[in-house]
């Protein structure tokens, strides 16, 4: 016999113990499960350990204040958790605007009336549940659509292959070749959509094994060097020997590197240069890909990793807007981080990077 579903859980974040106690009593009486955090750091740790249904976050706290905590939350893998900011001091229009721009769903002034707080929490939780149900419906429809597209696409590709192999007329052979290339591009897009739907459904599975990240990156770059040469682009690797294996899914990490280097190849002009670096910083390995392409211009780099997001140049190059979103999901599933920005030397171009955990030296030696 199945038990009753668990009540929604609220994470209360406030440096004032009396304030936390008041919120906890109010929310438990309303039927919610409640956890507490006394500052921004413990809030981020609690969310990483188990994401709550909603966060009630004080703005004015020592150390990491509510705004910075919210900024970090929205940049992490649990970025969709609803947040209500509460404050007794920062109620000017500029502060309210800043909080909402950072991604807060509500901005309330202390003392918050209990009835109002309960009502706003109920509304946000209902909205969050509706959003999850809509996303699940979209994933199901996407999976069915992808499945239905694959079979006719395979038939077209096979027919085009037969024509290209058997046809003696040069123009017909070229047309068949173009069709096959288009089919391959369409297959990549379909597979990307399918993989993204799995990621959104929480079905990204990792087959972990000890792997030397510098070797994986080196092998992947070597495999892509011929493509760079054909495009008159210099592709160089600068890797520190790490000497420590990371417990990762090798094929998934290869996919991330292929995506970032492939992205750089797409935007780097002839006679340009791409530099891939691998180095370790503390207990992390940092992999970076720098190119001499057009850079980001006025694009918001924080949006580059959102699904379906494309810059104007990305649309012109025929990108789907899924590759970087999938790369982010893979890296975060390994406990790493991913980002983008200008080149370190401030020259024209872009820099993409990701990190992966490295085991401590003692653990690696054992």
Tens of pLDDT, residue by residue, the chain (366 residues): 455 457 899 999 999 999 999 999 999 999 999 999 999 999 999 999 999 999 999 999 999 999 999 999 988 878 889 999 999 888 889 999 999 999 999 999 999 999 999 999 999 999 999 988 887 777 777 777 777 888 888 889 898 898 988 888 888 989 988 898 888 878 877 877 777 777 766 677 888 999 999 999 999 999 999 999 999 999 999 998 888 899 999 999 999 999 999 999 999 999 999 999 999 888 899 999 999 998 876 566 767 877 655 555 543 444 556 788 889 989 988 989 999 988 888 788 999 999 999 887 654 544
Residue among 267, 262, 279, 259 at smallest CA distance from 324: 259
Residue among 151, 154, 143, 152 at smallest CA distance from 195: 143
Residue 248 structure tokens: 């990762």
Confidence (pLDDT) at 299: 60
168, 289, 307 from 303: Cα distances, Å: 49, 18, 9
Same fold, 9-112 and 209-365: no
Listed by start position, the domains of the chain span 9-112, 136-200, 209-365
Entry pTM: 0.61
Name beta bridge partners: 353: 288, 339
The Cα 363–Cα 366 span in angstroms is 5
Fold of 9-112: Rossmann fold (3.40.50)
Confidence (pLDDT) at 4: 47
Spatial contact of 350 and 267, defined as CB atoms under 8 Å apart: yes
CATH 3.40.190.10 fits 209-365, yes or no: no
Confidence (pLDDT) at 185: 74
Confidence (pLDDT) at 314: 47
- DSSP at 344: T
Name beta bridge partners: 90: none
Residue among 58, 32, 36 at smallest CA distance from 122: 32
């Amino acid at each position: 016999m199945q038990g009753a579903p668990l009540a929604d859980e609220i994470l209360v974040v406030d440096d004032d113990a009396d304030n936390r106690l008041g919120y906890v009593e109010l929310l438990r009486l309303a039927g919610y499960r409640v956890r507490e955090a006394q500052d921004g750091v413990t809030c981020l740790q609690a969310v990483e350990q188990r994401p709550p249904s909603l966060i009630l976050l004080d703005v004015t706290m020592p150390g990491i204040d509510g705004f910075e905590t919210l900024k970090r939350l929205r940049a992490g893998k649990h970025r969709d958790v609803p947040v209500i900011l509460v404050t007794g001091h920062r109620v000017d229009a500029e502060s309210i605007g800043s909080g909402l721009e950072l991604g807060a769903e509500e901005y309330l002034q202390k003392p918050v009336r209990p009835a109002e707080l309960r009502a706003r929490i109920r509304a946000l939780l209902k909205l969050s549940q509706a959003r999850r149900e809509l996303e699940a419906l979209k994933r199901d429809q996407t999976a069915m659509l992808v499945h239905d597209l694959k079979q006719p696409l395979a038939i077209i590709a096979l027919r085009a292959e037969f024509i290209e192999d058997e046809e003696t007329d040069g123009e017909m052979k070229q047309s068949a070749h173009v069709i096959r290339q288009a089919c391959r591009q369409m297959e990549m897009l379909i597979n990307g959509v399918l993989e993204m739907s799995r990621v959104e459904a929480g079905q990204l599975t990792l087959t972990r094994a000890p792997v030397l990240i510098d070797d994986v990156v080196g092998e992947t770059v070597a495999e892509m060097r011929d493509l760079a040469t054909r495009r008159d682009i210099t592709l160089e690797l600068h890797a520190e020997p790490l000497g420590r294996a990371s417990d990762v899914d090798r094929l998934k990490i290869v996919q991330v590197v292929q995506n970032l280097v492939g992205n750089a190849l797409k935007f780097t002009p002839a006679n340009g240069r791409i530099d891939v670096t691998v180095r370790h910083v503390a207990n992390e390995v940092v992999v970076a890909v720098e190119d001499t392409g057009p850079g980001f211009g006025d694009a918001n780099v924080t949006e580059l990793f959102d699904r379906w997001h494309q810059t104007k140049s990305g649309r012109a190059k025929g990108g789907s807007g899924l590759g970087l979103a999938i790369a982010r999901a893979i890296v975060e599933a390994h406990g790493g981080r991913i980002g983008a920005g200008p080149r370190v030397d401030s020259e024209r171009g872009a820099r993409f990077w990701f990190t992966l955990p490295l085991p401590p030296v003692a653990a690696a030696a054992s």
